[in-house]
Amino acid sequence: MRVESGSVRPIDAAGVAPERLAVLHALEQKILWLAVWMIHHANHIRPKHDGLKVGGHQASSASMVTLMTALYFDVLRPWDRVAVKPHASPVFHAIQYLFGRQTRDKLKRFRALGGAQSYPSRTKDTDDVDFSTGSVGLGVAMTSFAALVQDYVRLKQLTPQRLQQGRMVALCGDAEFDEGNIFEAIYEGWKHDIRNVWWVIDYNRQSLDTVVSDRIFQRMDSVFRDMGWNVVTMKYGRLMQKAFERRGGDALRAWIDASPNALYSALAFTGGAAWRAQLTADIGDVGGVRELLDDHDDASLHRLMTNLAGHDLQTALDAFHGITDDQPTCFIAYTIKGHGLPFAAHKDNHAGLMTPEQMEEFRHRMHIRDGEEWEPFAGLDIPAALVADAIASAPFNQPIDRRYDAPRVPVPARIAAPTGAKMSTQEGFGRLLSNIAREHTELADRIVTTSPDVTISTSLGSWVNRRGVFDRHQRVDFDAQARIQSPQKWSVSPDGQHIELGIAESNLFILLGALGLSAPLFGTRLLPIGTVYDPFVSRGLDALNYACYQDARFILVGTPAGITLAPEGGAHQSVLTPLIGIGQPALTAFEPAYVDELTEILRWSFDHIQNEDGGSVYLRLSTRPIAQPERTLTRELAGEILEGGYWLVPPGACAELAIVASGMVLPEAIEAHRQILEDVPDAGLLVVTSADRLHRGWIHSQRTNGAFHGAPSYVEQLLSVLPPSTGLVTVLDGHSAALSWLGAVASHRVVPLGVEQFGQSGDITDLYRTYGLDTDAIVGAAARLCVRRGRGTKLAAR
């Protein structure tokens, strides 16, 4: 850390002047200090309410300090976008603090309520996080999809003039590559010929539990190259490179290359004497090695043997600056987890925290005086003005707005619903999009659809025929040339508005996340719609959660859904997705029964995904054609549909029963209601279009004064027309818990019908009978309610 100003040691600089390198080195040390101190402060100094360990990752942070210093203070430009490895969050916050974009107060509250977040968060942190991270692997993949989105808006010339093309950079932990989603993303990225992506891998050969397999990156290297990436291996720092030039250097290099990760780590932890003993035993008889060892004391031998490129600023800068084209590039940077800290390379260091004694020692080493721990320039032997100047002049730190606010896309006040006597919601969705493409071009121009190889079977075909498939390059339509007859006429070009994905639902959700951030990231508002078979929402659930967590805005269509997809069998039938719809934050779920409902909901969704306080939308649809009502939606009914439900048949004053139905089981509910009316003339029929919205409104009201003073929630209003003695039969093609809670709203007894087991193949009639969703099951449930009430109606006698 100590560098005399004016007498900076000359360095064999390839591109960076020695003075600048010295300042960057001072910054590197300052960032290490701040990151480590931030974690220490949270665990050992800040008062705690609960006595629990706060945590934080000093070792993971130390591993990346050099690479992040080089990138943020010299290499990155404001239009570059970065996903930071989750456990390097303290390093990120420290850098932002030096840039003046993070407050000292938030650093002091690292991992506390309202403080700097444990893992970088777009929504909760205030210091300019580009992509949230936390679930390993997802942030990495996000960068390649963001690159695709950047190309999508640039090639269509949608981006504002002032915005420059950036690199999408992932700073990755090496164990992130254990996550399969990364390989799915590499493959998909290759298909789409992505550009301007950098993945910088912190190859410390350690994960959480252990030291990872030997030489795994020889494999990785070829995976990347096969997928069209450039690979830059950053292995040896300059000290090592110099040593290799000496006599005996070749043997030293060969020893390093052949050393098992576990051995290298053990020696890196133990230090100089252990290196000497091991090297003497292994290669001591090779000419020149003894001299090389003798020329180093233990401390300098340790420095030499741990001088990996990922901890060598100059080498890192050279590597990064060496890339000037837009080919996706992977930097494999050798590092040591915990570098510069007492537990460096220790196999158990992931959750390790420095003790107060070790921290005192470290503070001395860093020349930080008591009380100056948070001072940006304390302990530096370089004049503060020089360091301040380097911070102010860092290309990334220029006063350029990095979060854009793109204008809204106007949504028409009315969109005509597709008409037909019988229709499924899925068919209605396809026709609706096609209508929008034809009649509402301003809106349609900003819609981008995507699907993991189920475009046609989720009814997007007609939209794609009209709007084409996106590709960075114009492609020849060989099918058309060969006059192959097909209803699918897909033109493929940069003008296309559908992004066709391979079968990987995780990729779908990460792409939706990237598309849904197009406004803040690329200054262009897009209206993304992704379709997927409803049961396979679960396959990509973590990625869906990830997209929602960073407040990306999109519309997800899960279709077909439920056991209604009867002949397809249990593997293709979704049971629990209605609960995902209720449970997933930042996602509003609807399950319309009729196409006019869907039309209104979709129109609302285009607004909702653009509203500041809005979110994403999930539509659970079906392929079951059902008779459509002959009605014109009044403004009032449209409002009720959006609020979450409406009385299709309002109950009479003394209703003993009400049927509450959601989605494709409505025909059975209507028929059961008709039959019940003979015995229970006041029975009502409530259609639920969004269990999610009803539930959200209800719990909000219960937890706030609304329940006691303000207006009751919408669902309370809906149910207020029922006497307390009314029994409810709830029914949906999905888990019954999605509606059974309605009984708690106004203390009504409930018989919840739904599906709680795996489905099986059959026809709808057989399956509805087997799983208790058919008319008889609904009537039977109603009868049981009447019997329980002790009222011997004719219905109960059935």
Ligand X SMILES: Cc1ncc(C[n+]2csc(CCOP(=O)(O)OP(=O)(O)O)c2C)c(N)n1
Site for ligand X, rule CB under 6 A: 60, 63, 85-87, 135-136, 173-176, 202, 204, 206-208, 337, 350
* Whole-angstrom distance, CA of residue 27 vs CA of residue 40: 20
Write down the least CB distance from residue 209 to Mg ion, Å: 11
* Whole-angstrom distance, CA of residue 783 vs CA of residue 798: 7
The CA-to-CA distance between both ends of the chain, in Å, stands at 87
CB 127 within 8 A of CB 116: yes
106 binds, among Mg ion, ligand X, none (CB under 5 to 8 A by kind): none
136 binds, among ligand X, Mg ion, none (CB under 5 to 8 A by kind): ligand X
Nearer to ligand X (CB atom), residue 351 or residue 627: 351
- Local structure of 545: helix, strand or coil: helix
Among 472, 792, 426, 748, which Cα is nearest to 619's? 426
Write down the least CB distance from residue 10 to Mg ion, Å: 34
Nearer to ligand X (CB atom), residue 311 or residue 695: 311
**DSSP run (H or E) holding 238:** helix 238-245
Count the neighbouring beta carbons within 10 Å of the beta carbon of residue 108. Answer: 17
Sign of the alpha-carbon torsion through 665, 669, 672, 674: negative
* Whole-angstrom distance, CA of residue 519 vs CA of residue 453: 26
Among 169, 170, 29, which Cα is nearest to 98's? 29
Can you spell out the DSSP letters for 90-110?
A: HHHHHHHHHHT-S-HHHHHTT
Nearer to Mg ion (CB atom), residue 330 or residue 517: 330
Write down the least CB distance from residue 198 to ligand X, Å: 17
Among 369, 75, 311, which Cα is nearest to 377's? 369
* Whole-angstrom distance, CA of residue 91 vs CA of residue 74: 16
60 binds, among ligand X, Mg ion, none (CB under 5 to 8 A by kind): ligand X
Write down the least CB distance from residue 341 to ligand X, Å: 13
In this structure, what DSSP letter does residue 705 have?
A: G
Residue 572 structure tokens: 């293709």
Q: Which residues contact 270 (CB under 8 A, 6 or more apart)?
A: none
Nearer to ligand X (CB atom), residue 60 or residue 132: 60
Nearer to ligand X (CB atom), residue 176 or residue 471: 176
Nearer to Mg ion (CB atom), residue 173 or residue 684: 173
Nearer to Mg ion (CB atom), residue 195 or residue 235: 235
Write down the least CB distance from residue 57 to ligand X, Å: 6
- Local structure of 425: helix, strand or coil: helix
Nearer to Mg ion (CB atom), residue 69 or residue 261: 261
Write down the least CB distance from residue 196 to Mg ion, Å: 25
Q: Which position's Cβ is nearest ligand X?
A: 173
Residue 493 structure tokens: 């070009």
Write down the least CB distance from residue 618 to ligand X, Å: 22
176 binds, among ligand X, Mg ion, none (CB under 5 to 8 A by kind): ligand X
Cα 367-369-374 angle, rounded to 5 deg = 95
Q: Angle, to 10 degrees, between the axis of helix 272-283 and the axis of helix 261-270?
A: 140
* Whole-angstrom distance, CA of residue 744 vs CA of residue 193: 53
CB 589 within 8 A of CB 582: yes
* Whole-angstrom distance, CA of residue 706 vs CA of residue 712: 6
241 binds, among Mg ion, ligand X, none (CB under 5 to 8 A by kind): none
Write down the least CB distance from residue 743 to ligand X, Å: 37
307 binds, among Mg ion, ligand X, none (CB under 5 to 8 A by kind): none
Nearer to ligand X (CB atom), residue 336 or residue 464: 336
CB 88 within 8 A of CB 68: yes
Write down the least CB distance from residue 705 to ligand X, Å: 38
87 binds, among ligand X, Mg ion, none (CB under 5 to 8 A by kind): ligand X
In this structure, what DSSP letter does residue 311 have?
A: G
The number of angstroms, rounded, from the C-alpha of 514 to the middle of its chain's C-alpha atoms is 9
CB 128 within 8 A of CB 100: no
491 binds, among Mg ion, ligand X, none (CB under 5 to 8 A by kind): none
Write down the least CB distance from residue 103 to Mg ion, Å: 30
Write down the least CB distance from residue 202 to ligand X, Å: 5
**What is the contact surface with Mg ion in residues (CB under 5 A)?**
173-175, 204, 206
Write down the least CB distance from residue 445 to ligand X, Å: 37
Nearer to ligand X (CB atom), residue 127 or residue 176: 176
350 binds, among Mg ion, ligand X, none (CB under 5 to 8 A by kind): ligand X
208 binds, among Mg ion, ligand X, none (CB under 5 to 8 A by kind): ligand X
* Whole-angstrom distance, CA of residue 647 vs CA of residue 600: 17
Write down the least CB distance from residue 3 to ligand X, Å: 28
Q: Which residues contact 632 (CB under 8 A, 6 or more apart)?
A: none
CB 375 within 8 A of CB 384: no
Among 171, 54, 170, 74, which Cα is nearest to 116's? 54
Among 661, 655, 662, which Cα is nearest to 676's? 655
Write down the least CB distance from residue 214 to ligand X, Å: 15
Using CA atoms, how far residue 697 sits from 204, 576, 724, 732, in Å, is 48, 21, 21, 20
Give every strand in the sheet of 447-452, ordered side by side.
492-493, 469-470, 498-501, 447-452, 527-532, 555-558, 616-620, 587-590
* Whole-angstrom distance, CA of residue 532 vs CA of residue 539: 10
Q: Which residues contact 370 (CB under 8 A, 6 or more apart)?
A: none
In this structure, what DSSP letter does residue 236 have?
A: B
Nearer to ligand X (CB atom), residue 204 or residue 458: 204
Nearer to ligand X (CB atom), residue 86 or residue 592: 86
CB 167 within 8 A of CB 195: no
Please list the residues that pair with 500 across neighbouring strands: 451
Nearer to Mg ion (CB atom), residue 206 or residue 233: 206
Nearer to ligand X (CB atom), residue 173 or residue 615: 173
Nearer to ligand X (CB atom), residue 40 or residue 296: 40
Write down the least CB distance from residue 564 to Mg ion, Å: 46
Nearer to ligand X (CB atom), residue 140 or residue 292: 140
Write down the least CB distance from residue 200 to Mg ion, Å: 13
Nearer to ligand X (CB atom), residue 330 or residue 680: 330
Write down the least CB distance from residue 334 to Mg ion, Å: 11
